[in-house]
Structure 1
Amino acid sequence: MGAERESVIGGGAVGTACALDLSVDAHVHTGFAAGRDAVGVVVSAADRAGLTALTFADQAGPDTTWLTAYSDAVRRARHRTEMNLRVAAEVEVVRSDGWLALPADLAPLDALSVAVSCLPAGGELLTPREVRARLDAGLMDASQVAELLVAATVKGVERASRYVPSQLARPLALLGQAGLDDSAVTPALIADLAAACRATGTVVEVSEAWRSPSPRVVEMLLDAAVTVVPASDARYAAEVGRWQYLRRV
């Protein structure tokens, strides 16, 4: 079945059904940063997969100098496809107040994809391995990690949305990397996250590559009327618009 005819049915706003449109891929990488292939190669692969929309979201930060060339490459590709192509950048939350490691110039971007790969805690930025070590030493517990992670995520999307439309990349994936189940994230915390996404218009990515968020969290977000989209997080063109986890969600 072609991607343009596929969907995954989940909970929607209360009392309704909502489908994830698998003809959309909301997060792909290219050779400009974490990926391996040129923009044109990725677009061709997306066309073959039957996609109708594609968001480029390469990792960027304060030292990034290639955003103009990146956006120019995507805009040139628009002349060779009927797909809707968007230019975004994946940026990291680096402080508990939601401070983002932003590129100097956001003008070339249509969106920001917000990621929390390390945990802001007490003025430090902890890697998943460091979080695990603190859990093992009894210096933190699962509920504290979940609260800190959701708080930083909420503040991050609030800050990003001030500049351009925002997306949330692989939400809560840090928990699994630190060896925690997302059951540590209470319904109240998910409600806080959902409220922030609704208030800021933030779209939540369901990542194929990271298997995040879990079906439980996706259902809760959909029930809270949050917009949720498929995201391959593809680093190779052959991975674009190819869904396995999304079909199981």
Structure 2
Amino acid sequence: MTLTLDDLLLGDFHVHSTFSDDAVSTLAENIRSAEAAGLREIRLTDHVRSSTTWVPDFVAAVAAERIPAGLTVFTGVEAKLLDATGAVDTPAGLVVCAEGGVDAIVIGDHQFPGTDGPWSPRSTRERLDAGLSDDDALDLLIDASIRAMERTPHAQLAHWFSILPKVGLSERQLGAARLGAWADAAARTGTVVEVNEKWTCPGQEAVAALLAAGARIVASTDSHDARSVGQYDRVPQIVRAATIDADATDRPEVNR
């Protein structure tokens, strides 16, 4: 598989609007910014939980927008990974990849997937301090990630592994075996994985594993303000570093 970095950076697959309570820009403002940045693709994505009822309004609002020539607009809802079973916090009856629905479920690792539900970063650190080993915690995260991909068609992983520094762990602790299993699952299930500008993750080793597995990566800003749509600094660095790693191990190439 050959992927051109320039082409990768012509997409922004995680952009929030005022349908999310922590974003400041409208759908129209995000679309105009994507056009101004010369993007070819954008995924308009907003936060949901099981109680969310506005998804049909969101889909209708996107459909009503003027889409500039040369820009393809996709939709998504961002829902958090809940627990070790891979459950995801989506609204009941959510329509995906069908008329009146969104194009993808963007899964976020906002909390740690615990055995009895989502663990906050503080609660996870307390469990680690009380004796939960780093290895067991990392196994929980990878196993839950794989299960979430297996049970969630049309998925995209958002800012994956951003939870790790919040609980005092690091991507570097994951190791090749865990990253390989995670990346293989992404390829096998057709899950898209974004390289996230805001959170600078997943990192070089994880992206190299995705490339080796043949999984699809996309770029995202996780924008909450239209001024940052399509504006990349960290993503190219991560992907270039992953390419060097890939080349060193005879993996697929991402061209500069």
Which TM class, normalised by the smaller chain length?
0.7 to 0.9
Work out whether residues 67 and 73 of structure 2, in 8 Å CA contact, stay in contact via their aligned partners in 1.
Answer: no
Whole-angstrom distance in 2 between the partners of 1:106 and 1:78: 25
* Aligned residue among 118, 132, 147 for 2:125: 132
Matches within 5 A, 1:212-231: 212-231=201-220
Question: Aligned residue for 1:142?
Answer: 134
Partner-residue secondary structure (3-state), 1:32: coil
Amino acid at match of 2:78: E
Q: CA deviation at 1:196?
A: 1.2
Give CA deviations for 1:88-129 in whole Å, capped at 9, x if unaligned: 101112121111111123222111111222122231421122
What is the CA–CA distance in structure 2 between the aligned matches of 1:87 and 1:195, rounded to whole Å? 25
Query: What does residue 109 of structure 2 align with?
Result: 116
Larger deviation, residues 166-175 vs 101-110: 101-110
Distance 1:87 1:98 in 2: 22
Once residues 204 and 128 of structure 1 are traced to their aligned partners in structure 2, the CA distance between those partners, rounded to angstroms, is 23
- Separation of aligned partners in 1, 2:217 and 2:67: 28
Task: State whether residues 198 and 226 of structure 1, in contact with CA within 8 Å, keep that contact through their aligned partners in structure 2.
Answer: yes
The 2-side partners of 1:138 and 1:18 are apart by 44
- Post-superposition offset of 1:179: 2.1
Normalised by the size of structure 2, how large is the TM-score? 0.85
Q: Does the CA-based 8 Å contact 1:18-1:222 persist in structure 2?
A: no
Task: Describe the superposition over 1:62-85 as per-residue Cα deviations: whole angstroms up to 9, x where unpaired.
Answer: 111211111112112254453100
Distance 1:143 1:183 in 2: 12
- Aligned residue number for residue 225 of structure 2: 236
Q: Identify which of 21, 25, 28 aligns with 2:15.
A: 28
Q: TM-score, normalised by structure 1?
A: 0.87
Tell me if the contact between 2:83 and 2:115 (Cα under 8 Å) persists in the aligned partners.
no
CA distance in 1, matches of 2:165, 2:117: 20
Q: Structure 2: give runs of 5+ residues left out of the alignment.
A: 96-100, 239-256
Match of 1:9 in 2: none
1:27-176 residue pairs with structure 2 within 5 A? 27-33=14-20, 34-107=22-95, 108-135=101-128, 137-161=129-153, 165-176=154-165
Range that drifts further, 144-153 or 116-125: 116-125
How many equivalent residue pairs?
Answer: 230
Secondary structure (helix, strand or coil) at the match of 2:65 reads helix
